[in-house]
Amino acid sequence: MFAVTIGREIFAQLTVNGLFRGTSYGLLGAGFALILGVTGRFHFSYGFTYTLCAYLAFTLHARGTWAGPFSNGIPFIIAGIIAILATSFVGVGIERFIYRPIAARAGATALLAIFVAALGIGIAGQSLITLLWSQQSMGFYDRGKHVRKVGYHIWKVTYENLDLMQAITSIVLIVAFAVILKFTSLGRQMRATRVNPDLATIIGINSKRIYLTCFFIGTLFCGTAAFWYGLQFAVNPDMGGRPVITAFVVAFLAGTASSPIRIFFTGIGLALVEQWTSMFMETRWTQTAVFVILFLYLVWRSMSGTIFGRHLKHVVTFQWARS
């Protein structure tokens, strides 16, 4: 079980894998943290939007049979952009037509009500996707006509052009978002709503619009991660299950009110740990590593005095720590 001699090449390769994978984790975490942190919605259908985006992109790219210039399908970049934007509007729609009315109705028990509804959307969506497409996993690349995978070898490390493109997109999105959050009026409004939604409303911030914006950006991040994953590997109806948990873990580890940069690096850290553990254990155990990290973190949190939800605005249990 233990690899006694760990080659430096293996270590380097795993590190590079972790860095590339990590940009995706970071993006997922930042999107989820934005939604939970600002709106307080426990958006479990994040996984559904992930799957949906990958399927839309796949269908547009690999199966598009329109006449004219796109008779052989739509170029993958364009297919991706259309799918990501379409999915982002689905995310906005979920907030507008499902979460918002439920929250207004449920009052104090909104967290549970929204979680249940999100669970429902997730499973209904996944079943619908399975019914419309199929249970089989489908490869973009096999059917794609415009994707050219190119491998690079530097020293003894291998990576692909798609890895690079995925990492660059993620970094650009995160940096752009960090800039927006820090320097623009919209960003200030988001941060104000995150700290105190009631007060933000009083000073004239349209918190409903801010919520919708958060869902748009959060789903955009989620969809982008899904698109690259689908392109590099394959699409299948269950593909949203693990990313949603990864997003939760990254967001909670970093803190939902942290800066997107910090969340991004937390995602990279998690991916690195996941990759490095595969040096010591068989690959199938590495997914357990994430859970072990999470568990240790939660044990530490419950033992230390910092349980008053420093970065959890909607802590239900410990509201009394005020005089």
Partner 1 sequence: MQIWLNYVNQIMIMAALGLSLNLLLGYAGQVSVAHASFGAIGGYTIGYVVTKYNWNIIWALLLGVAFSLVVGGLIALVAMRLSVEYLILMTLAFGNVLLGVFSSLPALGGTYGIIQINNDPHAIHFFGWHMNKPTDWLLPLFVLLAITLAITWRMGESAYGRVLKGIREDVVATRSLGKNTFKVQIMVFSITSALASFAGVMNASWLGVATPSVFGFSLSLTIVAIVIFGGMGNLKGTLIGAVILVGLDPILRRVVKIDQTKSFLIQLMIYGVLLVVLMLVRSVGLIPEGRTLSSFVRRRGAGGRTEMSATTAAKLEPAFTTRKTEGAASQSDRHQKWEQAEVVLEARGISKSFGGIVAAEDLDFVLKKGTITALVGPNGAGKTTVFNLLSGNIIPDSGSVKLRGKDITGRSLDAAARQGLVRSFQDVRLFQRISCLDNVLFGVQQQAGEKLPTLFGRPGIVKQSDKASLDKAMEWLSFVGMQDFANVPAGALSYGQTKLISLARVLSTEAEVLLLDEPASGIDTKWVDNMLDLVLAISAQGRTVCIVEHNLHVVTELADYAYFMELGRITAEGTVDELTSSPRLAAAYFGTV
Q: Which stretch binds partner 1 (CB under 8 A): 1-9, 57-65, 98-106, 148-156?
A: 98-106
Judge contact between 72 and 145, C-beta under 8 A.
yes
Q: CA-CA distances (angstroms) from residue 319 to 36, 120, 267, 307?
A: 18, 29, 30, 11
**Which of the residues 222 through 241 are near partner 1 (CB under 8 A)?**
241
254, 294 contact by CB (below 8 A): no
Q: Which amino acid is at 116?
A: V
Pick from 130, 201, 207, 259 the residue near partner 1 by CB under 8 A: 130
Q: Is 202 in the site for partner 1 (CB under 8 A)?
A: no
Contacting partner 1 (CB under 8 A), which of 175, 179, 199, 299?
A: 299
Q: 64 or 309: whose CB is closer to partner 1?
A: 309
Cα–Cα distance measured from residue 323 to residue 320, given in angstroms and rounded to the nearest whole number: 8
Instruction: Copy the structure tokens of residue 152.
Output: 């690079």
Closer Cβ to partner 1, 114 or 210, answer by number: 114
Residue 174 and residue 25 in contact, taking contact as beta carbons nearer than 8 Å: no
Does 122 help bind partner 1 (rule: CB under 8 A)? yes
Residue 312 binds partner 1, judged by CB under 8 A = yes
CB of 192 to partner 1, least distance (A): 22
* Ranges of H-type helices in the chain: 8-34, 46-58, 76-94, 100-106, 110-132, 140-143, 161-183, 185-195, 197-202, 207-232, 241-254, 260-280, 286-303
Work out the burial of residue 85: count CB atoms within 10 Å of its CB; fewer than 13 is exposed, 13-18 middle, 19 or more buried. middle
One-letter amino acid of 103: A
235 and 138 Cβ atoms separated by less than 8 Å: yes
Task: Kindly state the smallest distance separating residue 206's Cβ from partner 1, in Å.
Answer: 23
Query: What mask of x and - would describe binding to partner 1 in positions 38 to 77, judged by CB under 8 A?
Result: ----x-----------------------------------
The window from 7-15, 181-189, 206-214, 305-313 that contacts partner 1 (CB under 8 A) reads 305-313
CB of 97 to partner 1, least distance (A): 9
Question: Counting contacts by CB under 8 A, is residue 136 touching partner 1?
Answer: no
- Stretch of residues binding partner 1 (CB under 8 A), selected from 71-79, 100-108, 143-151, 164-172: 100-108
Query: Taking CB under 8 A as the rule, does residue 248 contact partner 1?
Result: yes
The interface with partner 1 within residues 251-290 (CB under 8 A) comprises 252, 284-285, 287-288, 290
Nearer to partner 1, 196 or 306 (CB): 306
Rounded Cα–Cα distance for residues 49 and 31 (Å): 12
Query: Phi then psi for 176, rounded to 5 degrees?
Result: -60, -45
Asked whether 77 and 262 are in contact (CB, 8 A), the reply is no
Q: Which residues of this protein are in contact with partner 1, per CB under 8 A?
A: 36, 42, 98, 101-102, 105-106, 108-109, 111-117, 119-128, 130-131, 135, 241-242, 245, 248-249, 252, 284-285, 287-288, 290-291, 294-295, 298-299, 301-302, 307, 309, 312, 314-321, 323
